[in-house]
Structure 1
Amino acid sequence: MILSSLTAISPIDGRYSNHTTKLRDIFSEYAFLKFRVKIELLWLKKLLTLNEIQISLKENEMINYHLDEIINNFSENDAQNIKKLEKTISHDVKSIEYFLKDKLLKILGKHRIINFVHFSCTSEDINNLAYSLMLKTARDKIIIPIWENIIKEIKKIISNYYNFPILSRTHGQPATPSTIGKEMVNFSYRLERQLKQLKQINLLGKINGSTGNYNAHFSAYPNINWHKVSQDFVTSLGLVWNPYTTQIEPHDYISEFFSCIARVNIILINLNQDMWGYISLNYFIQKNNSNEVGSSVMPHKINPINFENSEGNLGLSNAIINHFVNKLPISRWQRDLSDSTVLRNMGVAIAYSIIAYDSLISGIQKIRVNEVQLLEDLDKHWEILAEPIHTVMCKYGIPNSYDQLKLLTRGNKINSAIIHSYINSLTIPEKEKIQLIQLTPMNYLGLSTKLAKNFKNQKYYE
């Protein structure tokens, strides 16, 4: 059977492959090999700059040219050759080393510099840097842009409906009104905080040998400051240097990275569920696509499938992420291999998130606010004005105000006439009565309109 979107086991590469193909250049086996080849050869280039290696300037320039050519022209055929070696020797990084030495032998002949491929490195020196670069690429090119796009779509709702009233529901029951814009501000603000945190997470790397102490490096060249060489190399990759590790970089930053993604996913699950509920209440109307089918037997249905799809895939992503967060920072003594197979699934967790993000954006773009339904629902619930009336009664020292209004409104059908009659019966200043009578469920909005308007005009985080 030929592998295709129809025969793939995972929906990541099957049903939802159109959402995840952009991740293949970062998290596929080919991409992982390419990142590791790059690290190996950049480390070799770093060694060539050390006086103790004794390579002439002319040789250095020639070798660097060929190393850059191998990096820039790394192909799927090269990756296949590495995999063939791995099948024989059963070691992925050693296969890369053999591949590169063979490639350089054909280019340079029996040049002594070939012996410096993978010099003093343990496999994890290469792998940890490759993974860090993979996450950096995913964050900068995929995750940040799509988070910003989600926030942008939410802000469109804020801008269009910052002042449009909506009946709030606390514990699912009618409660003090808000505005559509303000309710979306709540989500946008939460997401922007997490976006800022993701940008600030340091992506770490190390290159310090078998147990983190430069033992092999020092035995060969004791006069080189390997700690400084390690720092310079890691930072040259655009990463933050971790100076103290065992054989592995301990992955704390990976836990931090994915914890941030998980928090955003939880916020978006909350948003998906709220939007699903609002659609159920007919507060939002979905666009009617005449070509789509909502049910195999009920012709009338337009289901909120984008929000449901997003919620489900966010849950799958977080299930994997939770294992990352709990597993990756732990390694027995100086190293065990239980993290290796887990790390290879980073792209899986991100893929489920990307599927969810795309679905959420699509869902938001398909909805519009049902202004008529919102106003009708507000007009059915004049009992919510018991709150401001009670508050004003407290202001003027009227005893048992809460209990009086509880008796009037709780479980009873309330309309404007009943509310106005009660207000007129109060022993409070006439101006207070006038202000209370002017209140309706549609305009009892507090500062919600102002809060939403201010938010849409400001950028809280750069």
Structure 2
Amino acid sequence: MSLDADLSPLTAVTPIDGRYASKTAELRPICSEMGLIRYRLTVEIRWLEALARHPGIPELSAPDADTTHAFRALIADFDAADAQAVKDIEATTNHDVKAVEYFLRDRLNKLPQFTEYSPFIHFACTSEDINNLAYALMLREARDTVLLPAIDQITAAIADLAHTYADLPMLARTHGQSASPTTLGKEMGVFVHRLRRQREALASVTILGKMNGAVGNYNAHLVAYPEVDWPALSAAFLADLGLAPSPCTTQIEPHDWMAETYHALMRVNTILLDFARDVWGYVSLGYFKQAAVAGEVGSSTMPHKVNPIDFENAEGNLGMANAVLDHLAAKLPVSRWQRDLSDSTALRNTGTGLAHTLIACQALQKGIGKLAADPARLAADLDANWPILAEAIQTVMRVRGIDQAYEQLKTLTRGQTIDEAAVRAFVDSLDLPDSDKARLRDLRPGDYIGNAADQARQV
């Protein structure tokens, strides 16, 4: 089969721009090739402005409001045709950053008022000065405008589950076996607390940048203008971009902050994956029912099925996201001597890990929207597991000084099938105060939930 058609969701190589294109559209203007070119152009123009504003560079006049507006318009109006023009230049230069420089010079040379600025485009810069800042701006925008809102939406949805089912008793399962009861809401609340903590870690990563020349020493800068305080100018420029200076670098910014970002996002993803698997299990047990969607098919052969496909989709995409993010976090901070180019191709996959995370968040959001607890199923499971009260009974026995309390309950319950009558008969046989006996006789599995409901409500 020949595919000569233009790129579309049907011809894309990866599902990010294929099957899931509509789900990753938010990232397209940020993490695409066009997005990267726009960030590079932004850095080139803002550096030119910073040079022009500095009194130690008299060859340039400080841009007035109109000039600044015209500069910024080159960024704001940057479109697909401009991006293609840059790519056309790159076809000759075989150098992507130099192509942006030539594109900008061409644009400025067409405007007489910008003639004086043209020689100072890309002044004293190595390509990595532009690239590291472009990726910093890219990752910051993706984090702040796409990822954090998506994480917040999921966290809020899980918090709603915690509040809705705060008081609904549920049989806990440790090692897959029946354990002391909890509430469905409290178990949802566990994920809320975990997500909020890691979300703050992701949001608080300091984004660093460098603008210090070919090997990080301001070599060319100081030859051209030895009296200028270049570290101070660079720091002010970075602050104007909303970035912090990386204090000492080789040709490249070391990318440690990127690794911190990816690791923080990986922890968020791991929590979401844990949530997806737990909910999948609760659906399997019947604790959660899923709303059937008209027209959807759960199985090509079994008409009755309503599968937890959204949680399975999320699990798969979270695994893909973390595989990519883990590689980036391990690879990017490592560079031979003052610079090698192995980070360049890896960095172009910045959007890949982010996109799989976004796809997973949307799948989870959709899946949560279909969930409804089944109180009858939860109650039936509790009522079938009276041995779980052994913990409560033996603990009261210990308080009253009864010997071998744990061992007596172990003999009664471990590997045995016992019901309400057997538990109450055992309680009646104990040498306990009447008040304790009455309390233990009245205790049912669904009542033995500790402060789980309070914990859920406090989320």
TM-score range, shorter chain: over 0.9
Q: Which residue of 1 aligns with 2:135?
A: 131
Instruction: Read off the aligned partner of 1:226 and give its amino acid letter.
Output: W
**Residues 53-202 of structure 1: matches in 2 within 5 Å?**
53-54=57-58, 60-61=64-65, 63-108=67-112, 111-202=115-206
Q: Detail structure 1 runs of 4+ shifted over 6 Å in the superposition.
A: none
Instruction: Read off the aligned partner of 2:94 and give its amino acid letter.
Output: S
**Residues 12-411 of structure 1: matches in 2 within 5 Å?**
12-54=16-58, 60-61=64-65, 63-108=67-112, 111-411=115-415
Q: Secondary structure at the match of 2:340?
A: coil
> Does the CA contact (< 8 Å) of 1:151 and 1:192 recur in 2?
yes
CA distance in 2, matches of 1:321, 1:291: 36
Cα drift, residue 57 of structure 1: 5.5
Output the aligned Cα RMSD: 1.3
Which structure 2 residue ranges, 5 or more long, are not aligned?
none
CA distance in 1, matches of 2:165, 2:187: 10
Cα drift, residue 288 of structure 1: 1.3
Cα drift, residue 213 of structure 1: 0.6
Greater displacement, 66-75 / 128-137: 66-75
Alignment CA distance shift 1:97-1:426 (3 Å): same
Q: Secondary structure at the match of 2:13?
A: coil
Cα drift, residue 102 of structure 1: 1.4
Instruction: Read off the aligned partner of 1:245 and give its amino acid letter.
Output: T
CA distance in 1, matches of 2:382, 2:61: 79
Cα drift, residue 12 of structure 1: 0.4
CA distance in 2, matches of 1:166, 1:62: 66
Deviations 1:302-357 (A, max 9, x none): 00000000000000000001101111111111111101111110101100010000
Deviations 1:345-373 (A, max 9, x none): 01011000100000011000101000100
Greater displacement, 103-112 / 288-297: 103-112
> Does the CA contact (< 8 Å) of 1:307 and 1:359 recur in 2?
yes
Deviations 1:259-313 (A, max 9, x none): 0110011111110100000000000000012311000000010000000000000
> Does the CA contact (< 8 Å) of 2:170 and 2:182 recur in 1?
yes
> Does the CA contact (< 8 Å) of 2:382 and 2:445 recur in 1?
yes
Instruction: Read off the aligned partner of 1:324 and give its amino acid letter.
Output: L
Q: Secondary structure at the match of 1:111?
A: helix
> Does the CA contact (< 8 Å) of 1:48 and 1:60 recur in 2?
no
Alignment CA distance shift 1:62-1:145 (3 Å): closer
Instruction: Read off the aligned partner of 1:71 and give its amino acid letter.
Output: I
Cα drift, residue 44 of structure 1: 0.2
> Does the CA contact (< 8 Å) of 2:60 and 2:117 recur in 1?
no
CA distance in 2, matches of 1:218, 1:184: 59
CA distance in 2, matches of 1:249, 1:346: 16
Residue in structure 2 matching 1:453, options 425, 436, 457: 457
CA distance in 2, matches of 1:33, 1:254: 19
Alignment CA distance shift 1:413-1:96 (3 Å): same
Instruction: Read off the aligned partner of 1:46 and give its amino acid letter.
Output: A
> TM-score, normalised to structure 1's length?
0.96
Which structure 1 residue ranges, 5 or more long, are not aligned?
456-462
CA distance in 1, matches of 2:342, 2:137: 21
Q: Which residue of 2 aligns with 1:460?
A: none
Does residue 421 (structure 1) correspond to residue 428 (structure 2)? The answer is no
CA distance in 2, matches of 1:359, 1:58: 51
Deviations 1:115-172 (A, max 9, x none): 1000000001011111111111111110111111001101111111101100000000
CA distance in 1, matches of 2:86, 2:102: 8
**Aligned pairs, number:** 455
Instruction: Read off the aligned partner of 1:350 and give its amino acid letter.
Output: L
Deviations 1:7-52 (A, max 9, x none): 1111000101110011011000001001100110010000101123
CA distance in 2, matches of 1:198, 1:310: 20
Instruction: Read off the aligned partner of 1:104 and give its amino acid letter.
Output: L
> TM-score, normalised to structure 2's length?
0.97
Cα drift, residue 187 of structure 1: 0.4
> Does the CA contact (< 8 Å) of 2:288 and 2:374 recur in 1?
yes
Q: Secondary structure at the match of 2:372?
A: strand
Deviations 1:369-389 (A, max 9, x none): 001000011000000000011
> Does the CA contact (< 8 Å) of 1:187 and 1:267 recur in 2?
yes
Deviations 1:381-420 (A, max 9, x none): 0000000111111112222222211111112211111101
Cα drift, residue 198 of structure 1: 1.4
Instruction: Read off the aligned partner of 1:365 and give its amino acid letter.
Output: G
